[in-house]
Structure 1
Amino acid sequence: MAGMRKLAVLTAAAVTFAGTALAQTPAAPTAPAAGDDSALVDRGAYLARAADCMPCHTGDPKKPYAGNLSFNTPFGTMFSVNITSDPTYGIGKWTFEDFKGAVHDGVRADGAYLYPAMPFDAYTGISGDDLKALWAYVRRIPAIAEPRKENELAFPFNVRLGLLAWRELFFDASYWKPTAGKSDAWNRGSYLVEVLGHCSDCHSPRNLMGAVKAKQHFLGADVDGYWAPDIDTATLKKDGWTSETLTQFFTNGSVPGKTEVFGPMAEVVRESLAYLTPTDRAALVTYLLDSPPPKDIPAPQAASPLPPDVFQQAAKLYIDNCAPCHQAGGTGSSNVVPALVNNPAVVASEPYNVIMAILGGLPAGGTYGPMPSFAGRLSDQQVANLVNYVRTSWHNGGSANATASMVAAWRATADVPDYGTQQASAFNCPKVGGGPGATGPDPQAVASLTQMMQGGERETRVLISAYQNADSGASAGTVVDALTAAYCPVVAQAQLPDWQKSSELQRFTLQVAAAISEGLAGPAMPPVSTIWATPTGTSLVARQPTSIAAQLTCPDPTAANKLVPKALVDAAVSLVGKPAVPVTGDVATRFANTLMQQNPKARRSDVANALIVAYCPLVTAKANTGVAEQYSLLTGFGQQVVQTLQLGAPMFNAAAK
């Protein structure tokens, strides 16, 4: 049985070896005659075989490169894409930059992240000249109008935005570099095995996030029912493989008395290994019989000067707080969010620019939207770790010279919102019982509610009713305050970071406010496709639409029961005028304060919504902007206005009827 297993093991091994063995050298190609790129196309065809492109992109043998080959992964079934020159279903409309983005960066032409089933984590090392040769060949693949089958992935793996975390932790877009002190043949073999052949994608096990386990590089893995064996140097030598037997195996898939190719390996030998040059085959064998031991940590972490534990903590901080806007790799988002990679302000000799941006946020300016303050969410040490991570990741050349004490000093001088102070970042529950001139929630009723919640009661309406029975004269604002104060000790006991506790308490508060508001006279949530200021008791919150429409539609103040007084909208239109979009955060704040001062009896939510109504047409009229950018511009303005009015609003208390 052992002999049979080894036969199957070595047979499966060639599935990957085949893809490694056929690349040309990373050096520049021989220059073809002017206007003739046939030599480049031929070289590209050779590289495509080396990279195992056709077998992976062919589901129907009669339709080469038309995709729809299924891959069974732990996360569901995926299907390869059509890479023929068909303009509708293939890549016929792609440019070289689109192609490079997919192969080198793992990003589709439409900007979506590719799943790592496409081995861009290995292909990123392909040299620039080889990419050009591959493109010269691929763009000439005959068109086949074959639509791609939809992936069958379970949530959350069907959400491509979830790949932000994967890319940040496990992907480093960088070209392959030769190893000093090694021979040309060894380095050529390294390029074939680690880059074009992407051997580790089959011969290394993966973690729960689908990334190759760095410490188990080449130590074998189960691939769709076949065992891709250990191909590290020690195992190959232990099993008796020599230069001669490996060379013979890669030549025809057969080593008499040792193994014979069959199954998927037969296709690889037929489609790839049969075209291997003797020089490349020798280089491949040279490297495999002298490959380096596996790295202890993934490539992004290996390239960082930060200690492993600090890197992991800081990477998670970036993923949770920054990546949704600044993207994986710090690339930014078009003209809405600036890039952090290769940003002179980020890599300056001193870290103060990044520290102050995190602590104080940034107003909207130029084409960029506003950035909120993270001072209330992050401690001094977390800010320091995040700053050092941003300054040294993605091949940024900054120094990891931010410290917690430095952040504390700058925090004391930063102009941050009240909720962004160091004191506010600590999770403290409010005391109830009333202050000067206000009675506030009833302490005994609050304590009783806390006991109910600790016992497992979470039904909002039950809790509201229980408090109202104990304090029949309480205003809506007092009820919200009471339930918030009662829930706070429950949240405080959770094993969560302070900022997560604050977020959970805020979520609960808004849930209670919404439940209370249902029983009060007032307008319902307007059917608008933009941010909207909604009253909750004596305060207000920014409500988001349920979805972004295909076209941004500005709120109509004359519809939905005339939610915003026309006189207030007219005043807002006059105040805002026709400035260049976007306006800065300071200007948005001035608009809010001025309109509130001019209309002291107006509801704060009406003031906010009047300004949003006035600003929206300016956004939709801005040239060369898509709906996503328009939504971002309007949301940034609206959030700044709502925040300004919210911070100036009276706190919930019994006196505010």
Structure 2
Amino acid sequence: MKSIVRGAAWLGIAGWAGLSGAAAQQAGDDAALVDRGAYLARAADCMPCHTGDKAKPFAGGLPFKTPFGVMYSVNITSDPQYGIGTWTFADFKAAVHDGIRKDGAYLYPAMPFDAYTGISEDDLKALWAFVRRISPVAQPNPENELNFPFNVRLGLLAWRELFFEPAYFKPTPGKSDAWNRGAYLVETLGHCSDCHSPRNIMGAIKQKQLFLGSEVDGFYAPDIASASLAKTWAKDNLTQFLRTGSAPGKTSVFGPMAEVVHESLAYLTPGDIDAMVTYLLDSPPPKDKPAPEAASPLPHDVYVRAAKSYIDNCAPCHQDKGTGQGVAIPPLHGNPAVIAAEPYNVIMAVLGGLPAGGTYGAMPSFAGRLSDQQVADLTNYVRTSWGNPGTPNATAAMVAAWRATANVPDYGTQSSSSFDCPKVGGAPGATGPDPKVVASITQMMQGGSRQIDVLAAAYKAAAGTTSAGSVVDALTAAYCPVVAATQLPDWQKFGELKRWTLQVAAAVSPGVAAVPLPDVPVIWAVPAGPGLVGREPRSLAAKLACPANDGKQVPKPLADAAASLLGTPKPPVDGNMVKTFATTLAQQNPKARRADVANALIVAYCPAVAALPGTSIAEQNNLMNSFGQQVIGTLQLLPAPTVAAK
């Protein structure tokens, strides 16, 4: 308590000038909160770093010599022009917790937000109560003198993606309160690792060498890992050293550490110093990986190349951590289409891009830039990063299958003007489906066979291939003459061929997934880029098995709404009524995934089909397929959903 009181007095007599009484009253914080903020600012060593001229505390201008050039601390007084006088608590929190400036620019990690991100919400509020009372000093901020490319803040996208994960401090279970308090002071507020750990070529702390010592401004910050400290230090003399800067028979403080002791540690309570010593003498071994990678289920080599792919291709638009950019570019973090059970939506978005719609802009295709393996790695990365709970089940073989669907040109393009079917075979040495086997598959289709698993197995056996991409190509080429022979208008022919191709890709993908995909007993809608596709069950049971309305595969409120909308339907439902059901449920739930809307209606309709007397399992599945395809087709033609649903 004495130190806290001394911290309050220090506001006026030790260069920490307070605001006027009127301004303090206007701020509306009680004195105890301000005193606590002053104490925390001491523990965080704020003033020395933000003071170039001791006559102007907190006004910035202190140079930091780094391997990348000279950086200057900024003015954090309440000056409205050069300081942070126009900031709100949200602005302050964004800078300290997230490393993002008020204008949205990324802060350089010379400001230790990578450590400060652990500061608790209550402590942030106390710090803000103190900081916003610092008297204004109208001192401009010097321009940093950084070498290219480090002077380009956009380059921090890569740094943040690879090395920074915003997260509050979490106590370690099984450790004492003193140990955890010490960890909070050392790792978070004190940011000791920033000086006592070497950095890599990108300026990030080398996790495997945490606390093992590093050079700072021409001085060497020694190894303070517990294994090293325990050899030469005891609790009593380490406590004395931290409080006074001197330990008899050991050493006296000098260099940058002298400032830390005199301006910060000397003002901490005995309990906090004791906690720091407790932690330092028993700190855990260094982590093997930076926080973002440590949270990922991907193997190291996959993570590294996938993260690079994301940084190179996606981060400029979707930002680090997949946050997106307002309504113009949707977020990937927490996006329900990204973390769906199947990875097809991400795969198709990467391969085919997305058209502009609603409030968001167009996304280009990366099919010509990324290989099947790169697309699979990137897909698994965005589905499992930044807290996304998706499963890393995409594979290169799966991507090849979906890439093959692009062989059906979009209706209205020059290549589709005459509805020419693919010429299978071709020049000597050319790869592609076996023309003779494709012809035999066409005959099977003309005879009425449409079961994809049967057709795919027949092609694999006859052509001697296991390639998922070849199967999609072959079944597309085989079905095209069947569609071409119909009397449908060209636009419907293309729609039917595209639908079939996507269905084939959805059917063969589970067989090449890295992790088993959830099985479904009936037709099931899955997102595929900007559209939907119906995935049919791999096998038919002895009786129609309806998906449970338990919230595991479809949000229960949505399924309940679908059941209420359908009432007690009598199959088969008229096509116009199916369209009405699909349109109404989508309009009532504009933020729901279109796949979830379709599946909610399927879940609600299935019990009515299963209860039909005198119908065979084949007839029941035909009823379900017809209903499901009509729902999916209707939803595909509706205007683009909101950004939140993409």
TM-score under structure 2 length normalisation = 0.58
Q: Percent identity?
A: 77
Superposition deviation, residue 267 in structure 1: 2.5
Report the counterpart of residue 312 of structure 2 in structure 1.
320
Per-residue Cα deviation, 1:286-325 (whole angstroms, up to 9, x for no partner): 1100011111111111110000110001000001100111
Superposition deviation, residue 397 in structure 1: 1.6
Query: What amino acid is the match of 1:316?
Result: K
2:147 matches 1:154:
yes
Report the counterpart of residue 311 of structure 1 in structure 2.
303
**C-alpha separation in 2, matches of 1:332 and 1:414:** 27
Query: Residues 72 and 144 of structure 2 are in contact (CA less than 8 Å); yes or no, is this contact kept in structure 1?
Result: yes
Q: CA 1:225–1:35 in structure 2 vs 1: closer, same or farther (change >3 Å)?
A: closer
Query: Residues 317 and 325 of structure 2 are in contact (CA less than 8 Å); yes or no, is this contact kept in structure 1?
Result: yes
Identify which of 164, 177, 181 aligns with 1:184.
177
Identify which of 386, 400, 408 aligns with 1:408.
400
Report the counterpart of residue 226 of structure 1 in structure 2.
219
Report the counterpart of residue 275 of structure 2 in structure 1.
283
**C-alpha separation in 1, matches of 2:238 and 2:145:** 38
2:354 matches 1:362:
yes
Q: CA 1:412–1:247 in structure 2 vs 1: closer, same or farther (change >3 Å)?
A: same
**C-alpha separation in 1, matches of 2:72 and 2:134:** 19
Per-residue Cα deviation, 1:188-230 (whole angstroms, up to 9, x for no partner): 1111111111111100001111111111111100011010000
Query: What amino acid is the match of 1:73?
Result: T
Identify which of 122, 126, 131 aligns with 2:124.
131
Q: CA 1:143–1:181 in structure 2 vs 1: closer, same or farther (change >3 Å)?
A: same
Report the counterpart of residue 75 of structure 1 in structure 2.
68
> What are structure 1's unaligned runs of at least 5 residues?
1-33, 419-430, 432-584, 587-657
Q: CA 1:350–1:203 in structure 2 vs 1: closer, same or farther (change >3 Å)?
A: same
Report the counterpart of residue 561 of structure 1 in structure 2.
none
**C-alpha separation in 1, matches of 2:155 and 2:336:** 29
**C-alpha separation in 2, matches of 1:205 and 1:263:** 18
Superposition deviation, residue 398 in structure 1: 1.4
- Indicate the SS of the match to 2:70: strand
- Indicate the SS of the match to 2:220: strand
Structure 1 residues 116-515: aligned runs within 5 Å: 116-238=109-231, 240-414=232-406
Q: CA 1:248–1:106 in structure 2 vs 1: closer, same or farther (change >3 Å)?
A: same
Aligned residues: 388
**C-alpha separation in 1, matches of 2:103 and 2:119:** 22
Report the counterpart of residue 98 of structure 2 in structure 1.
105
Q: CA 1:416–1:285 in structure 2 vs 1: closer, same or farther (change >3 Å)?
A: farther
- Indicate the SS of the match to 1:267: helix
Query: Residues 58 and 67 of structure 1 are in contact (CA less than 8 Å); yes or no, is this contact kept in structure 2?
Result: yes
Superposition deviation, residue 71 in structure 1: 0.1
Per-residue Cα deviation, 1:424-470 (whole angstroms, up to 9, x for no partner): xxxxxxx9xxxxxxxxxxxxxxxxxxxxxxxxxxxxxxxxxxxxxxx
**C-alpha separation in 2, matches of 1:322 and 1:48:** 37
**C-alpha separation in 2, matches of 1:273 and 1:346:** 47
2:50 matches 1:62:
no
- Indicate the SS of the match to 2:109: coil
Query: Residues 360 and 415 of structure 1 are in contact (CA less than 8 Å); yes or no, is this contact kept in structure 2?
Result: no
**C-alpha separation in 2, matches of 1:50 and 1:417:** 63
**C-alpha separation in 2, matches of 1:49 and 1:176:** 19
- Indicate the SS of the match to 1:334: coil
Query: Residues 214 and 295 of structure 1 are in contact (CA less than 8 Å); yes or no, is this contact kept in structure 2?
Result: yes
Query: What amino acid is the match of 2:218?
Result: G
- Indicate the SS of the match to 2:71: strand
Superposition deviation, residue 138 in structure 1: 0.7
Query: Residues 373 and 417 of structure 1 are in contact (CA less than 8 Å); yes or no, is this contact kept in structure 2?
Result: no
Per-residue Cα deviation, 1:542-583 (whole angstroms, up to 9, x for no partner): xxxxxxxxxxxxxxxxxxxxxxxxxxxxxxxxxxxxxxxxxx
Query: Residues 29 and 129 of structure 2 are in contact (CA less than 8 Å); yes or no, is this contact kept in structure 1?
Result: no
The 10-residue stretch of structure 1 (297-306 or 345-354) with the greater mean CA deviation from structure 2: 345-354
Per-residue Cα deviation, 1:100-132 (whole angstroms, up to 9, x for no partner): 111111110101111110111111111111111
Query: What amino acid is the match of 2:140?
Result: P
Report the counterpart of residue 45 of structure 2 in structure 1.
52
- Indicate the SS of the match to 1:71: strand
**C-alpha separation in 2, matches of 1:233 and 1:170:** 24
**Bigger relative contact order, structure 1 or 2 (CA pairs below 8 A, ≥6 apart):** 1
- Indicate the SS of the match to 2:288: coil
Superposition deviation, residue 265 in structure 1: 3.1
Superposition deviation, residue 51 in structure 1: 0.7
Superposition deviation, residue 262 in structure 1: 3.4
The 10-residue stretch of structure 1 (121-130 or 72-81) with the greater mean CA deviation from structure 2: 121-130
Provide the aligned C-alpha RMSD in A. 2.0
**C-alpha separation in 2, matches of 1:107 and 1:44:** 21
**C-alpha separation in 2, matches of 1:408 and 1:191:** 48
Superposition deviation, residue 415 in structure 1: 7.2
Query: Residues 375 and 416 of structure 1 are in contact (CA less than 8 Å); yes or no, is this contact kept in structure 2?
Result: no
Q: CA 1:99–1:35 in structure 2 vs 1: closer, same or farther (change >3 Å)?
A: closer
**C-alpha separation in 2, matches of 1:400 and 1:174:** 23
**C-alpha separation in 1, matches of 2:136 and 2:243:** 32
**C-alpha separation in 1, matches of 2:342 and 2:278:** 46
Superposition deviation, residue 416 in structure 1: 8.3
Query: What amino acid is the match of 1:284?
Result: M
Per-residue Cα deviation, 1:345-384 (whole angstroms, up to 9, x for no partner): 1112221211111111001111111001111111111111
- Indicate the SS of the match to 2:162: helix
- Indicate the SS of the match to 2:289: coil
Superposition deviation, residue 164 in structure 1: 0.8
**C-alpha separation in 2, matches of 1:170 and 1:251:** 32
Report the counterpart of residue 88 of structure 1 in structure 2.
81
Query: Residues 360 and 416 of structure 1 are in contact (CA less than 8 Å); yes or no, is this contact kept in structure 2?
Result: no
> What are structure 2's unaligned runs of at least 5 residues?
1-26, 411-426, 428-529, 532-646
Superposition deviation, residue 266 in structure 1: 3.1
**C-alpha separation in 1, matches of 2:408 and 2:294:** 35
